[in-house]
Amino acid sequence: MLRKISWLIRAGAYIVVGAGIFGWSSFGPVALPVTVTAFALTGLMMCAWAVLDLRGREDAGWRPSTVLPYVLGAIAVVAGGASAVPDATSLVALAALAVLDAGSEASPQAGWAVAGVGALAIEIGVLTSGAGTGIALGSPLILMVALLSGRNRRAYRVQAEQAAAMLAQVEQLRAEQRQVAVLGERARIAREIHDVLAHSLGALGIQIQAARALLTAPGDVERAVGLLAVAQRIASDGLTETRRAVHALRADVAPLDQELARMAAEYRQRHSTDIRLTVEGDPVPLPPEQTLALVRTAQESLTNTAKHAPRQPVTLLLRYQDDDVTLTIGNRLTDAPAGFGDGAASAGPALHTVDGGYGLTGMRERLLLLGGTLAAGTHSGRWAVTARVPR
């Protein structure tokens, strides 16, 4: 639309120049045919210019830039040379339009070439017609001003295009950031679901196996029923935790020391095992992500403890320090497969969880995302897991 408006303005300028030349001027027998011919040729070449310009904008396969400078140069030569004729000086305006567009649309070399041939044509016309110094100096100056204006317009257009490209890149970057955030949130929820299911199903498997052992041995039905009731409660709690993970509820996590106290009480009740929680330092509120990471670490560690060291005392040490918070879970190993140290097998049925060995890896990855660390290993028959998160 703007391009068409520009051409309406150029057509209006052509009409105004023609009316000014032929409406109020009187030419001699030589000047008249020269001026009419130059004006007509300029009009024809402006029509070709319009076709090349408008068609080049609409047709992506058309390449007007290789032809357009020649057309603009021809307009500058014809209109500029004829502007030296007495009473036809206003033709220089049409030459200036061509130079302006050459400076704006063509290459710098082509723009200077169009302005140069136009100025040369003016000087030749001045020598031929005997025009005054005003035309000899003023008309080329008009073309130079038109050229500089065209170069400035081109610079503004390039800046606008670059700004638009930068805005598009920024928008694309924002879209990619939103996508990364969505993927990160999905990964976080996936980790939550994995950790919740690994803990809940692991503990559930232990209770069911213990109940099965009681039912298939001497047949202690009462204790077996109690274990199955605990298993049912574990399944219900696991379902609740899974729903919380799916809905990504971060704000409902209790303070870390309270969460650990609740977990210790549940562990003591489920497994009839001595478990002691010690808190050192002044408890401080932690971000939900860090609290949840330490809670999941404790859950996974307690599940492994129930699997590999049933009925053995467990210690939980929560230490608040100036720069970080550490949680250490330790116990003595009695049923130790590869990777858990040595120790004599305990009496009673062997218990197995559903975890496929990814528990420590998942805990370590979760803590690394928060800038924390995880250390796990055995020493003197004791298994210890130490998790650290920065404050």
pLDDT in tens, 151-160: 998 888 888 8
pLDDT at 117 over 90: yes
pLDDT at 195 over 70: no
**What average pLDDT score do residues 58-86 get?**
78
Predicted confidence at residue 95, as pLDDT, reads: 92
Residue 119 inside a domain? The answer is yes
Secondary structure class of 193 (helix, strand, coil): helix
Residues 160 and 263 in one domain: no
pLDDT tens by residue, 75-96 = 999 999 998 888 888 899 999 9
Contact, 93 vs 13, CB < 8 A?
yes
Counting Cα atoms < 13 Å in the Cβ hemisphere of 376 gives 19
Residues 12 and 156 in one domain: yes
Residues 153 and 38 in one domain: yes
> What is the count of structural domains for the chain?
2
Please report, for the domain that includes residue 324, its CATH number. Answer: 3.30.565.10
| CA atoms of 221 and 219, how far apart (whole Å) | 6
Secondary structure class of 217 (helix, strand, coil): coil
Predicted confidence at residue 302, as pLDDT, reads: 87
Q: Binning pLDDT at 50, 70 and 90, where does residue 104 land?
A: confident
Residues 272 and 156 in one domain: no
Specify the higher pLDDT residue, 389 or 51: 389
Domain hosting 288: range is 255-391
Residues 146 and 17 in one domain: yes
Residues 144 and 269 in one domain: no
pLDDT at 277 over 90: yes
Residues 161 and 262 in one domain: no
pLDDT at 217 over 70: no
Predicted confidence at residue 76, as pLDDT, reads: 93
Residues 136 and 259 in one domain: no
| CA atoms of 333 and 28, how far apart (whole Å) | 120
Residue 24 inside a domain? The answer is yes
What is the percent of the chain where pLDDT is above 70? 79
From the CA atom positions of the chain, what is the Rg in Å? 44
Instruction: Identify the H or E element spanning 363.
Output: helix 359-369
Residues 157 and 266 in one domain: no
pLDDT at 170 over 70: yes
What is the dihedral sign for C-alpha 97, 99, 103, 105? positive
Q: Which pair of structure tokens corresponds to residue 102?
A: 């050459």
Residues 287 and 140 in one domain: no
Residue 194 inside a domain? The answer is no
Predicted confidence at residue 154, as pLDDT, reads: 87
Q: Binning pLDDT at 50, 70 and 90, where does residue 208 land?
A: confident
Contacts of 274 (CB under 8 A, 6+ apart): 268, 313, 314
| CA atoms of 50 and 123, how far apart (whole Å) | 28
pLDDT at 38 over 70: yes
Backbone torsions φ then ψ of 168, nearest 5 degrees: -65, -40
Residue 6 inside a domain? The answer is yes
Domain end (from 165, 194, 220): 165
Residue 213 inside a domain? The answer is no
Average pLDDT of the chain to the nearest whole number: 79
Ranking 182-191, 261-270, 362-371 by mean pLDDT, the lowest is: 182-191
Contacts of 301 (CB under 8 A, 6+ apart): 329, 385
Residue 173 inside a domain? The answer is no
Domain end (from 104, 130, 165): 165
pLDDT tens by residue, 133-144 = 888 999 999 999
Contact, 68 vs 99, CB < 8 A?
no
Predicted confidence at residue 334, as pLDDT, reads: 55
Ranking 123-127, 146-150, 172-176 by mean pLDDT, the lowest is: 172-176
Specify the higher pLDDT residue, 10 or 182: 10
Residue 222 inside a domain? The answer is no
pLDDT tens by residue, 247-276 = 544 445 678 898 899 889 988 888 888 999
Residue 117 inside a domain? The answer is yes
Domain end (from 145, 165, 185): 165
pLDDT at 202 over 60: yes
pLDDT at 148 over 60: yes
Q: Binning pLDDT at 50, 70 and 90, where does residue 57 land?
A: low
Residues 11 and 147 in one domain: yes
Residues 149 and 284 in one domain: no
Predicted confidence at residue 220, as pLDDT, reads: 67
| CA atoms of 101 and 88, how far apart (whole Å) | 22
